[in-house]
Structure 1
Amino acid sequence: MTRKHYVATAATFVVLGLALTGCTAAEPAATADADSATTSTELDAATITVYTSEPQEKIDAIVAAYNEEQPNVTVEVFRAGTGDLTARIEAERTTGDVQADILLAADAPTFEGYAADDLLLAYTPADVESLNQDVVDPEGFYTGTRIIPTVIAYNTTAIDTPPTSWQDLTDSEYAGKITMPNPDVSGAAAFNAAVWMNTDELGEEWLEDLAANEPVIADSNGPVSQAVAAGTQPVGIVVDYLVRELQAAGSPIDVSYPSEGVPYVSQPVGIFASTDEEAASESFVDFLVSEAGQTLAVEQSYLPVRNDVGTPDGAPAMDDITILTPDLDLIAETKAAAVARFNELFQ
């Protein structure tokens, strides 16, 4: 299969940002009226399996909201880090078919690879024209479900002057004070390693300088954010929604969006070609990117992929963020080597 790789541009994110700037925070999903939900036909009884890296409480809420629309569909969830999910998928495909119907995890290059291997079913979600087209695969094999930038987090009681750039983190004043996620576990971290390696202002030299400050490598983004909030490691490299959640809970944590730009993942969703429940799987994809599904995403502190559902409290407008938008072909080709180099430097 020949894939046509799609590359987002900074200019198109500015357009999205202008749209989001005019939005107010969304009402809680529980108060949304029936008109805001996806209009869909109630399906017959079916069972679908979702492989996901979403936090358990978030995917539980997603399934519960979906079942309000499709009460006859049972959704079974296997939740793990992206590294464990991709290993499981590889093991299953070598012995037969993938045992899941849906994958909700990781980054676009991961889905590009699965599409190239004929593992994914082409499907264009309902109301796709309402979505940010930068996260929609033009061939229909996957669709982003939220914008998740990686940023610098810092403990406000321990850091007086926060870092404002990735380069700042190589200063000796941060030696022993930084924590970041393991790219062998976190799909976002693996994606970031490749983006940093292929960004002219950063590259391998920056990674080497960062490693000289001996960051603590945590398993995933969750432990990173918790360590920063607790002050055990006062600076962290982490996805931004976790910082907003901890701030809302009263933790002394804040966020800096580095001046060179931030990498982001879009937590795509795709349907495995081996599914026996195509209609139910498609309805689950439809829900994730519907107005109701994206209102819930905002409630869960994510930046949405459509502009009619508001933005999370405390989130910046997208046009205020410099976004790193590398070529997906290049990231896919270099990610394994970038993760291997990361492991050599940091572990």
Structure 2
Amino acid sequence: MHTSRTTLALAALGAAAVTLAGCAGTSGDTESASSDAASETTTLTVYTSEPQEKIDEIVAAFGEDHPNVDVEVFRAGTGDLTTRVATERTAGEIQADVFLAADAATFEDYAAEGLLVEYTPADADALLTDVVDPEGYYVGTRIIPTVIAYNTSVIDAPPESWQELADPAYADQLVMPNPDVSGAAAYNAAVWSTTPELGDEWLAALAENNPVIADSNGPTSQAIATGAQPVGVVVDYLVRELAAQGSPIDVSYPSEGVPYVSQPAGIFADTDNEEAAKAFVDFLVSERGQQLAVEQSYLPVRSDVGTPEGAPTMDEIAILSPDLETVQNAQDAAVETFRDLFL
């Protein structure tokens, strides 16, 4: 897939060159061969739905410990990424080494189709159990709950439950991300659809309030912060970031519980750079990688790095977390229902 070789292979070639040169008795050639091997660069391709600024910070931090790995990033919404992967499969080979995107259901599908390398990170014992695939094909890298957000300059008493969003009082005031673009939104549609106290009946009632459907969570949060649509459904870290920047926005964690995605990472079986890919996944869930996640306003997947200022811990949040197989089986139909009702 890629013309460059893995770091491990380069190291092995370098060692072989040193040995051969030593047998010939030319120390100058030995030093030259070692230097050439050490300077070789592995190119690692990452497909991700991470915001560009955040993935740039991740790549820079990873590069501090792995200067010989050149990380190339293709950034898009999860829906666009999965379309790209499908197109590349049809053409013969997936061009990414690592996939870092929103929802575990996508990774379950890829694992079932034999597209992922079986790999459990070295630090897996330090992670929340729920984010580690028991079969070892992917691992969650940050906790991203979806919440109700509201503009504090417009809304005095924010809704405290998903049910309240269907109240006619919120007609023409709501905004939500599009599940055709956002992996988190697609996952949320499946969770809502399979939650007994919500379900398709609630979605239909919510649609009666004529919410604006934004392309993704970013524009959704901006619409709430500006007051264009003063109440909305959005991932919580964006609310924290905008509030820290001075926007009149706050978060409400619905009483029924919140769905969350864990932004999993997995390694494609087509990779020619498996060792570098493993190192990148290891970094994402390492103590340093998770400290960076907290600095980026995410809830971490390990308990030894704290949480963002003002953010709750996982045990302080009511979670909507149905069986993953249930969500996986329901997601396509739930997204189609969402399209019919809202788009």
| Counterpart check, 1:232 vs 2:233 | no
Whether 1:295 and 2:291 are equivalent positions in the alignment is yes
Paired position in structure 1 for 2:196:
200
1:64 to 60, 63, 85: 60
Is the Cα contact below 8 Å between 1:43 and 1:73 reproduced in 2? no
Gaps of at least 5 residues in structure 2 are: 1-37
| Corresponding residue of 2:125 | 129
Q: Once the two structures are superposed, what CA deviation does each residue of 1:154-197 show, in whole Å capped at 9, x if it has no partner?
A: 00010010000000001111000000000000000000000000
Alignment CA distance shift 1:43-1:279 (3 Å): farther
Q: Does 1:279 align with 2:303?
A: no
**Aligned counterpart, 1:187:** 183
User: 2:302, 2:316 → 1: CA distance?
Assistant: 17
Q: Give the SS at the match of 1:341.
A: helix
**TM-score scaled by structure 1?**
0.87
Contact 1:43 1:280 in 2 (8 A): no
Contact 2:49 2:76 in 1 (8 A): yes
Equivalent residue letter for 2:246: G
Matched, 1:211 2:207: yes
Cα contact 2:147–2:236 (8 A) shared by 1: yes
Paired position in structure 2 for 1:30:
none
The answer for the alignment partner of 1:335 in structure 2 is: 331
| 2:111 maps to amino acid | A
Is residue 159 of structure 1 aligned with residue 155 of structure 2? Answer: yes
CA distance in 1, matches of 2:233, 2:104: 20
For residues 27-81 of structure 1, what are the alpha-carbon distances to aligned partners after superposition, in whole Å with 9 as ceiling and x for unaligned? xxxxxxxxxxxxxxx9962111000000000000000000000000000000000
Aligned match of 2:22 = none
Q: For 1:127 and 1:310, how far apart are their aligned partners in 2? A: 17
SS in 1 for 2:233: strand
Task: Answer whether contact 2:214 2:220 (CA < 8 A) is retained.
Answer: yes
Classify the secondary structure of the residue corresponding to 1:83: helix
Partner of 1:146: 142
Deviations 1:90-112 (A, max 9, x none): 01111111100000002111100
Is 1:86 the counterpart of 2:82? The answer is yes
The one-letter amino acid of 2:136's match is G
Secondary structure of residue in 2 paired with 1:120: coil
- Give structure 1 stretches of 5+ with no counterpart: 1-41
- Tell me the equivalent position of 1:96: 92
Instruction: State, as a whole percentage, how many aligned pairs show the same letter.
Output: 71
2:48–2:73: 8 Å Cα contact kept in structure 1?
yes
8 A contact 1:43–1:70 mirrored in 2: no
Would you say the 8 A contact 1:104–1:268 is kept in 2? yes
Go from structure 1 to structure 2 and tell me whether the alpha carbon gap of 1:341 and 1:335 turns closer, same or farther (over 3 Å shift): same
In the alignment, which residue of structure 2 is the partner of 1:32?
A: none
**1:288: how far off?**
0.3
Of 254, 258, 271 in structure 2, the residue corresponding to residue 258 of structure 1 is 254
Give, in whole Å, the separation in 1 of the partners of 2:111 and 2:40.
29
Secondary structure of the corresponding residue to residue 121 of structure 1: coil
Tell me the SS of whatever aligns to 2:140: coil
State the shift of 1:316 in Å.
1.2
2:327 aligned counterpart, secondary structure: helix
Which stretches of structure 1, 4 residues or longer, exceed 2 Å deviation after superposition?
Answer: 42-45
Question: Who wins on radius of gyration, i.e. which is larger?
Answer: 2
- Kindly indicate whether the alpha-carbon contact (under 8 Å) linking 2:299 and 2:313 is maintained by their aligned counterparts in 1: no
- Render the CA deviation track for 1:175-222: whole Å, top value 9, x for unaligned: 000000000000000000000000001000000000000000000000
Go from structure 1 to structure 2 and tell me whether the alpha carbon gap of 1:90 and 1:333 turns closer, same or farther (over 3 Å shift): same
1:270 counterpart (263, 266, 269) = 266
Q: Is contact 2:290-2:302 (8 Å) kept?
A: yes
Across the aligned residues of Structure 1 and Structure 2, the Cα RMSD in angstroms comes to: 1.0
Deviations 1:113-166 (A, max 9, x none): 000000000011011101111100011100000000000000001001000000
| 1:178 pairs with one of 155, 162, 174 | 174
Q: Hey, what's the Cα distance between the residues in 2 that align with 1:44 and 1:134?
A: 38
Measure how far apart 1:295 and its partner are. Answer: 0.3
Q: In the alignment, residue 50 of structure 1 is paired with which amino acid? A: V
Q: One-letter code of the match for 2:201?
A: E
